[in-house]
Amino acid sequence: MCRGSSCNNKWLDRAALPCLAWLATIRYFQPDVFLHECTPAFPLGIFHEVLNDTSRGHHAKHPSARPLPHSWFDGLEDDAADNDVQQLAEWCFLSEVFSPDQLGKPVRRSRRYTAGYWRPGCQLRLAIDFRSMFCRQLLLDASVYFQADPDMLGQSVSRELADLNIGQESRLEAQLCAAARAGQCDSNFEHWSVSFAIVDLTQSVGWRGVSTEVLPALLRRSKLWDLVSAQPVGEVALWLAQGFPHPRAVGLAPAVLQSITIPCGATGPSDSASSRTELLYCRGPEHTVVERLSLIGNAMNLTQVSAWLAFAFASIDRVLPS
């Protein structure tokens, strides 16, 4: 679904079939609220076309089975209640396109988040403006993700990450030349005027360029490389950028630690109470580097998800009988 809507808004390909099946279940079962995430180019009008079309199809729920105010059924015959209420009701939508860097996090990942609610079963509780509530000035840069202990850095920059194919090597040379031309380093690429310069070696030079403030958007096959340190961005930094907790974070429940599968190969301090268990992301099934990077690039950013959940459920209220 995301892949199709990323390519010139041509989203109706084989990858869109799960989305169409999902929309069919929403149309049939009519939940009170649904949430959706996709690329910014996702055609929002498809929700109106599919869900608010009363000319065909049937629904699993009879309106009288919903906890609606009794006034909704005044004057409606039992055999006509379903059709009448279905025409009176409609799906309404809240939708925003935003990125974590607009929320004050130094990572770019523009996505469209949508919340649909069935009216009259639900209504807007508060007229909340998402951007005024959640958007913040960006005061940090991506270097906050590169702070780690030496043993963690050594473990996170694996051999598979450091290996480049011919295409990636050519893009690396082109990005270095582009950085020198922009005055970010000298002609020998030894002295830099910036603390870091992140590029994606899977993308062309003109498509994204060099990022010196925020971390570029992660894709399933991204290979982020820091031109200043001449090494790839480690796995730990990528997970942190997606909003996952730091491996040495305190206060995490043991069940949470056991469910996270980022391999770092280190344990907590010997004098800590958690020294009997592995403190870092070492539990769970083993994954290859390619599989882990695919999971990172395909994951939703937790900062965006939490902000949108808070906004959606603070804005939408279920209508109960008086």
40 domain-assigned: yes
Residues 307 and 288 in one domain: no
146 domain-assigned: no
What is the model's pLDDT at position 22? 92
Phi first, then psi: what are they for 215, rounded to 5°? -75, 130
What is the model's pLDDT at position 142? 93
Residues 27 and 120 in one domain: yes
Per-residue pLDDT in tens (0 to 9) along the chain, 322 residues = 555 555 555 556 777 888 889 998 888 888 889 999 999 999 889 898 888 876 665 565 555 566 555 555 555 555 444 555 555 678 899 999 999 999 999 999 999 999 999 887 788 887 779 999 999 999 999 998 887 655 555 454 556 667 889 999 999 999 999 999 999 999 999 999 999 999 999 988 877 788 999 999 888 888 999 999 998 888 878 888 998 876 566 676 777 766 665 544 333 333 333 333 333 444 445 677 778 788 888 889 999 999 999 999 999 998 776 5
Residues 254 and 272 in one domain: yes
Residues 119 and 71 in one domain: yes
What is the model's pLDDT at position 84? 53
Residues in a beta bridge with 36: 114
Residues 46 and 102 in one domain: yes
SS3 171: helix
Residues 42 and 89 in one domain: yes
32 domain-assigned: yes
What is the model's pLDDT at position 312? 94
Q: Which domain holds residue 265?
A: 244-299
What is the model's pLDDT at position 292? 79
pLDDT in tens, 187-217: 999 999 999 999 999 988 877 788 999 999 8
Which of these three, 178, 213, 233, is where a domain ends? 233
CA atoms within 13 A on the CB side of 9: 6
SS3 175: helix
238 domain-assigned: no
Is the previous residue joined to 120 through a cis bond, with omega within 30 degrees of 0? yes
59 domain-assigned: yes
pLDDT in tens, 15-58: 788 888 999 888 888 888 999 999 999 988 989 888 887 666 55
Residues 61 and 44 in one domain: yes
Residues 121 and 33 in one domain: yes
Nearest Cα neighbor of 279 from 308, 253, 317, 311 is 253
What is the model's pLDDT at position 261? 56
Residues 210 and 257 in one domain: no
What is the model's pLDDT at position 270? 34
Residues 94 and 193 in one domain: no
Q: Are 129 and 115 in contact (CB under 8 A)?
A: no
147 domain-assigned: no
Residues 45 and 126 in one domain: yes
What is the model's pLDDT at position 283? 41
SS3 113: strand
Residues 127 and 173 in one domain: no
13 domain-assigned: yes
Which of these three, 233, 266, 288, is where a domain ends? 233
Q: What is the pTM of this model?
A: 0.79
312 domain-assigned: yes
Number of domain units in the chain: 3
What is the model's pLDDT at position 83? 53
What DSSP string runs through 243-256?
Answer: TPPPTT-SS--HHH
